[in-house]
């Protein structure tokens, strides 16, 4: 049986549109800061991608600052600002914020002062979508962009983060989106590229792929591709519920990304589940890809009120447009079978 990739929230497969754009960009030899024809050709690729990302992101009246990814974009936006966040934020945001905002059992973040706060659009582990308050300082739109309707113009945020590889672009390129007229202090100094906000010769190939991927992702969303993915996610969750009794589907009753299923299987450690499913031919994760290699309970789930033991027994299954009903049913069958074997072993030894 071929392997089944069910970890799209960690990274999405490279889109053909992005691949074509990147290969074409490899033949453009100039430095985009050079004024000769070759340099202008390279610069044109960057500016075309900037327009593509802006249109897909609903950010026509904003500045797109290309970076090496959302982590760098977060540092550029947040360093020295002293903003507040909830404990459900990605580590790249949490590293620069105080984590003081409260999170309820449904995963919703309470914001008292939007201008001094950052709130993610959607969580990478649970898929839970937030209602963004008007005037928010920043939103992490990395997981939401391309999967649900989103427009920077109506988000109410002053800044936003995005990343190419989450929507089928290349790894190692992202962007900070700034409300027009807002500025940030450059953290990488030098030649003054990206309107003086991020120096260094631009990743022309990666940026070209980002632009093409953003444009294709927006078209997929308009064509209803993620509605089909949502139906697959629902089929998966029904199969898991039918095959087990003790499992918890996190965020089942609130608004979530159409592709994300977070399952807690009491007594079965998340990392053990990941290894078991990997051997069975399925790629899943035990939380955010940036922290899944570290054996620790999800702080996102603990912020929602789950115990440390429960949070340590969670996995994330995140689907993509390439997945089929056969994929999810095969996974559900393999996972439920493995869980029952685990429970049987636990019963023989006096516990799970």
Taking the C-alpha atoms of residue 12 and residue 17, their distance in angstroms, rounded to an integer, is 13
Q: Taking CA 230 as the corner, what is the angle to CA 228 and CA 236, rounded to the nearest 5 degrees?
A: 110
Q: Which is the catalytic residue, given 92, 290, 313, 336? A: 290
| Contact between residue 92 and residue 81 where contact means Cβ atoms under 8 Å apart | no
d(CA 302, CA 126): 12
User: Is 290 among the catalytic positions?
Assistant: yes
Half-sphere exposure of 255 (CA within 13 A, CB side): 10
CA torsion through residues 285, 291, 293, 295, sign = negative
Measured distance CA(217)–CA(233) in Å, rounded: 19
E strand or H helix at 318: strand 314-318
Cβ atoms of 257 and 120 closer than 8 Å: no
C-alpha dihedral, 23 to 24 to 30 to 31, nearest 10°? -60
Tokens of 43: 């610069």
Residue 67: beta bridge partners?
174
Hey, which bits of 183-297 come out as E strands? 248-250, 260-264, 282-283
The tokens for 145 are 């962009």
Q: Give the integer Cα–Cα distance in Å for 338 and 74.
A: 39
Tell me the HSE value of 4 on the side-chain side, using a 13 A CA sphere: 23
End-to-end Cα, the chain, rounded Å:
30
The partner residues of 282 in beta bridges, in order of sequence, read 4
- DSSP 3-state assignment of 157? strand
Q: Which of 154, 107, 113 is nearest to 260 (CA)?
A: 107
Question: Which residues are catalytically annotated?
Answer: 290
């Amino acid at each position: 049986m071929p392997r089944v990739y069910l970890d799209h929230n960690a990274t999405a497969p490279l889109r053909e549109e992005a691949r074509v754009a990147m290969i074409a960009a490899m033949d453009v030899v100039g430095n985009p800061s050079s004024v000769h024809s070759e340099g202008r050709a390279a610069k044109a690729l960057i500016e075309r991608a900037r327009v593509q990302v802006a249109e897909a992101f609903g950010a026509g009246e904003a500045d797109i600052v290309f970076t090496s990814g959302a982590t760098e974009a977060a540092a550029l936006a947040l360093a020295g600002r002293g903003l507040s966040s909830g404990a459900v934020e990605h580590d790249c945001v949490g590293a620069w914020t105080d984590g003081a905002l409260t999170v309820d059992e449904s995963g919703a973040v309470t914001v008292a002062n939007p201008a001094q706060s950052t709130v993610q659009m959607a969580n990478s582990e649970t898929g839970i979508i937030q209602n963004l308050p008007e005037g928010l300082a920043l939103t992490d739109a990395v997981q939401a962009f391309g999967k649900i309707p989103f427009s920077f113009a109506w988000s109410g945020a002053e800044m936003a983060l995005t990343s190419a590889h989450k929507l089928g672009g290349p790894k190692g390129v992202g962007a900070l989106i700034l409300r027009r007229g807002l500025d940030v202090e450059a953290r990488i100094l030098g030649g003054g590229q990206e309107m003086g906000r991020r120096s260094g010769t631009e990743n022309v190939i990666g940026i070209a792929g980002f632009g093409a991927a953003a444009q294709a992702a927006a078209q997929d969303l308009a064509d209803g591709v993620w509605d089909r993915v949502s139906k697959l996610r629902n089929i998966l969750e029904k199969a898991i519920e039918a095959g087990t009794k003790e499992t918890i589907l996190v965020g089942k009753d609130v608004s979530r990304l159409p592709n994300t299923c977070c399952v807690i299987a009491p007594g079965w450690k998340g990392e053990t589940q990941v290894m078991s499913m990997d051997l069975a031919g399925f790629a899943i994760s035990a939380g955010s890809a940036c922290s899944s290699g570290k054996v620790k309970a999800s702080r996102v789930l603990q912020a929602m009120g789950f115990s440390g033991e429960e949070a340590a027994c969670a996995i994330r299954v995140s689907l993509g447009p390439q997945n089929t009903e056969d994929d999810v049913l095969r996974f559900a069958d393999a996972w439920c079978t493995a869980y029952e074997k685990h429970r049987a072993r636990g019963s023989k030894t006096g516990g799970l």
